[in-house]
Amino acid sequence: MLAYTIRRLLMLIPVLIGMSLLVFSIIHLIPGDPAKTILGEKASPEVLENMREELGLNDPLLIQYKNYMLGLVQGDLGTSIRTKVPIAKEMKPYLAGTMELTFFAMAFALFIGVNAGILAAWKQNSWFDYMAMLIALIGVSMPVFWLGLMEQWVFAQNLHWLPSIGRSSIINPVHPISHFYIIDTILVGDFGGLLEVLKHLILPSIALGTIPMAIIARMTRSSMLEVMRSDYIRTAKAKGVKEFFLVYKHALKNAFIPILTVVGLQTGLLLGGAVLTETIFAWPGIGKYLYDAISIRDYPVIQSGILIIAFIFVMINLIVDLLYSAIDPRIRYR
């Protein structure tokens, strides 16, 4: 297991180098001039040229890539063209915001999706099975932006139950320590602020987690049906094992590996694909941060942001691979 883990970690190096090269090449093909974006259309050619020289945009692309990679090796993600702030410092609160939102969205998707899939398989061909799969089909087909807007209209505007934008109350803002607001409010004992943070998380978490929930529900049902037809399940049933324990203790463990694969992939996708949700709910996350950087051609921010998301995605898949052997002892890595 240790040798396998080390091998997989070493494989990250060429993957991230290839990703950095690909991203660097693509973003320099984007039309537009960062200097003109910063200074405006009316800036004189001399001022624009000085700005390009200051930003290093006049250097050959190979030199720009080499300088970026040298800084990256030393742990320097670079400096934002727009704000002149080190990217590592500037990105931290945005990354924490997206990770917090992703965690709660995936918790919602797992809890609802797994249980709905189990019950649908348990009660196969019943009204619950048909209803659960219909809801799953609607959920996977529903546009995130439409669901988010409907949530705001119903629960924020009409019923006034939940806030529609932001991560915390404007009246009682959270003073960031780790930038994970749940943790920060607990650390200072602000349980009123904790409640507000949780209320702000509900609507965007449901909007972001609906598609993964539907996918997980369908995968759980399919996997559980296959396991429930196994010989050892029939034997356990013949021995008089109660149906609840048969399903949740014996069948679910063996059915969980394909579910875990889907969870790993969907978690990585949520981290990088939350732009719509973060925009609708004015959520200060990494997706919105990168979207704004793309609009002003902030090359260092785009490169570093995508590289970090790629790193997290690969690490999530490594963790999922290692969990396989914990769930099923028959799986061994060499």
Domain boundaries, the chain: 2-73, 92-327
- Residue that the structure tokens 């973003």 belong to: 27
- Residue that the structure tokens 């930038």 belong to: 179
State the angle between helix axes of 87-122 and 286-295 in degrees (0 to 180), rounded to the nearest 10.
130
Which pair of structure tokens corresponds to residue 133? 């799969």
Q: For residue 331, is pLDDT > 70?
A: no
Band (104; pLDDT cuts 50, 70, 90): very high
Calculate mean pLDDT across residues 280-291.
Answer: 85
pTM equals 0.84
Distance CA 8, CA 6 (A): 5
Calculate mean pLDDT across residues 226-236.
Answer: 81
Yes or no: say if 109 and 266 are a contact pair by the CB < 8 Å rule: yes
Which pair of structure tokens corresponds to residue 299? 């090359």
- Residue that the structure tokens 């650390």 belong to: 187
Which pair of structure tokens corresponds to residue 304? 């570093």
Band (267; pLDDT cuts 50, 70, 90): confident
Torsion of the alpha carbons at 312, 301, 295 and 42, rounded to the nearest 10: 180
Fold topology of 92-327: MetI-like fold (1.10.3720)
First to last CA, the chain: 6
158 or 271, which is more confident? Answer: 158
